[in-house]
């Protein structure tokens, strides 16, 4: 009788044990397995998908390409499948000849249908760069973003950049010219996956980050309370000091998996990792990569141009200085 009772108890407990084991969703599949982050990292470094390879692919193509000279327009249009991820209203008002209006959520599907390299177009180049990084991570290594977005194509579509340059950092109490703080060493991020295949983990992570949309924070918010963020300035040391920087900003550059410099970033759930650059375009690429890797990462919109456009240290990538819209044709 006792054996029968124990048998019945075991049967009753079995579903509970099964559901418990299937609902873990933590960084490892079982106590013996390799952490999902490690599987992901190993796959990316072994297959040319480290952060620096997303920035510049194996053929030396940067993630951005500038609008062409008028004489080169036909060749430029013929080279790419152009997807415009702006709103349908703005797309219908004016767009590049041959471009297709595509929702951000559908970028991976659209890339799979293309027989040519994809050029992603948005308002300022920032969301397009975020999309480009995710598409490169997904296997579409020749994807590029239109630098400066439609703002750089024609004066009629330049409003998004013209209206968002600013100088809030000039004289701000949280703008500093001090040396960068000493880089710390943190642990790896924790990501959830039941897969033991690095390629599958990457695929799932990219799809999730696409579904979540572009994650950004404004320069004004970070300037107001820099202590609320883990800030990484993506400038050279000379520019970090010459331009000045947000108080407390680190300068972790290069930032790659292979050399473990990524360990300088705080992976904890209460650390909002903010990257910023000159235009918000490189920081968008970094942010896409970091979110795939499990960081709570954000791109500072409009970069230095949004915070301190008049800064005398600018020699390139200054909107309204060396960078202005071209006068290329639009269709509607």
Q: Where are the domains of the chain?
A: 42-162, 175-308
3-class SS of residue 121: strand
Q: How far apart are CA 187 and CA 93, in angstroms?
A: 48
3-class SS of residue 250: strand
Domain 175-308 class, CATH top level = alpha beta
Res. 3 pLDDT band, cuts 50 70 90:
very low
Q: Is the pLDDT of residue 25 over 90?
A: no
Q: Is the pLDDT of residue 6 over 60?
A: no
Identify any residues that bridge with 299 across adjacent strands, giving them in sequence order. 216, 275
Give CATH for domain 42-162: 3.40.250.10
Q: How far apart are CA 130 and CA 117, in angstroms?
A: 16
Asked whether the whole model's pTM tops 0.85, one would answer yes
Res. 14 pLDDT band, cuts 50 70 90:
very low
313 burial level (CB within 10 Å; 0-12, 13-18, 19+): middle
The answer to whether the peptide bond before residue 15 is cis (omega within 30 degrees of 0) is no
Kindly state the average pLDDT of the residues 175-193.
Answer: 97
Q: How many residues does the structure list for the chain?
A: 332
Q: Is the pLDDT of residue 115 over 80?
A: yes
Contact present, 123 and 160 (Cβ < 8 Å): yes
- Average pLDDT value over all residues in the chain: 92
Do 42-162 and 175-308 share a fold?
yes
CB-CB neighbours of 12 under 10 Å: 9
């Amino acid at each position: 009788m006792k054996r029968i009772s124990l048998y019945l108890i075991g049967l009753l407990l079995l579903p509970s044990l099964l559901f418990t084991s299937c609902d873990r969703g933590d960084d490892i599949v079982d106590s013996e397995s390799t952490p999902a982050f490690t599987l992901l990292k190993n796959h990316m470094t072994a297959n040319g998908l480290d952060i620096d390879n997303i920035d510049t692919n194996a053929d030396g193509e940067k993630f951005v390409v500038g609008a062409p000279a008028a004489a080169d327009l036909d060749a430029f249009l013929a080279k790419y499948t152009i997807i415009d991820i702006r709103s349908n209203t703005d797309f219908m008002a004016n767009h590049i000849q041959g471009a297709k209006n595509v929702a951000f959520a559908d970028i991976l599907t659209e890339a799979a249908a293309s027989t040519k390299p994809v050029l992603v177009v948005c308002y300022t180049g920032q969301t397009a760069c975020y999309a480009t990084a995710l598409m490169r991570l997904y296997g579409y290594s020749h994807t590029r973003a239109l630098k400066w977005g439609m703002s750089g194509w024609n004066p009629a579509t330049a409003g998004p950049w013209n209206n968002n340059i600013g100088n809030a950092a000039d004289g701000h109490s949280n703008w500093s010219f001090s040396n960068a703080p000493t880089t710390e060493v943190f642990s790896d991020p924790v990501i959830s996956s039941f897969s033991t295949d690095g390629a599958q983990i990457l695929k799932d992570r990219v799809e999730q980050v696409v579904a979540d949309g572009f994650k950004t924070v404004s320069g004004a918010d970070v300037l107001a309370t820099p202590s609320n963020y883990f800030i990484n300035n993506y400038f050279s040391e000379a520019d970090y000091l010459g331009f000045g920087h947000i108080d407390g900003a680190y300068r972790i550059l290069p930032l790659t998996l292979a050399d473990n410099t990524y360990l300088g970033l705080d992976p904890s759930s209460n650390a909002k990792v903010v990257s910023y650059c000159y235009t918000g375009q490189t920081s968008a690429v970094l942010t896409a990569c970091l979110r795939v890797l499990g960081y709570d990462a954000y791109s500072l919109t409009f970069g230095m141009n949004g915070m301190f456009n008049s800064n005398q240290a600018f020699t390139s990538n200054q909107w309204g200085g060396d960078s202005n819209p071209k006068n290329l044709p639009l269709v509607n």
